[in-house]
Structure 1
Amino acid sequence: GEHIVHFAQALPALTFRPSDPAREALASIAAWTAQAGATNVLPPLRIDAADPVWPATLPPGETPAAILCINMIHIAPWAAAEGLFRGAGALLPAGAQLILYGPFRRPSRPLEPGNAAFDESLRERDPAWGLRDLGEITALAVAAGFGAPEVIEMPANNLTVVFGKQAGR
């Protein structure tokens, strides 16, 4: 809820549709939105990115201009990353963007000490979790109809990674 309220307040001309697979998180998102009085946030949807048919719950006729995914793919099994790209590739029109934010492994670059410790702690909690390799993420994106990413360095060794949906894909 904190993220969506921040974006809704910073970008009042846009309309947001948050989602989460956990019912308790959906309730939290709704509570944050109501408390903030964010009128540009639609009710949250239950979407599990790993579901084979995703997003089955998006209302008819609702086509997003972009999908923003914050801190998800490293705290979820690989199937969630695969599902995110499969679903976004099917849902987004040409020219739309899939935007990821979080820590990543990058080919031929050593992992920063803080991210290495974070990755280790994630894998201890669940062996299916962990920082994802940006090369492998890009391969998923290309297979789902997206172009090469724009990578933007962020604080605390995080990245914003922007994939554009290609025409005819």
Structure 2
Amino acid sequence: MSLKHIAILLLGTGIIAGCSSTPSPRDSTHENISYYSHQSGFATPQSILENDPYFVRNRLYDQYQEWRGTRYQLGGASHSGVDCSALVKIIFEKEFGYTLPRTTLSQAQLGEKISRNELTAGDLVFFKTGVRTWHVGIYLENKKFMHASSSKGVTISSLDNSYWKAKYWKSIRI
């Protein structure tokens, strides 16, 4: 089965389990990640960043211009409505050829955990927004991250914002 077919299958089965949703039983266990593109040798944002520190950041800002203001829709994965984990998944596939899982909690299980002061463009930032709800965004620079906000749609926010600062959970590098 090709990566395209797997991505379509995952999108179809995981669409309901996007950001700020209660995890499905599948989310509560570490899933087999052998089908993700990092197993196939695609470049990751970090490997690209090591060769050109501005490339990742500029590609992310280009994506922000494309998605800016798109309304938040739980389970959405298009320009008519998108949730946080779909936005991250779509951008990573389009810009880096890197397939991520569909849900926030599954995305949080990947990569290398890093501290806030180690963040570079393309790292993922995670927030615990409720007892069983999570949120994800893509770090840009200078404590700024892009995400699909339930109140503002796709926007850029600051990690220093009191709401996000209080909800911060962890950061990972793919």
TM range (shorter): under 0.3
TM-score, normalisation: structure 2:
0.27
Highest Rg: 1 or 2? 1
TM-score, normalisation: structure 1:
0.28
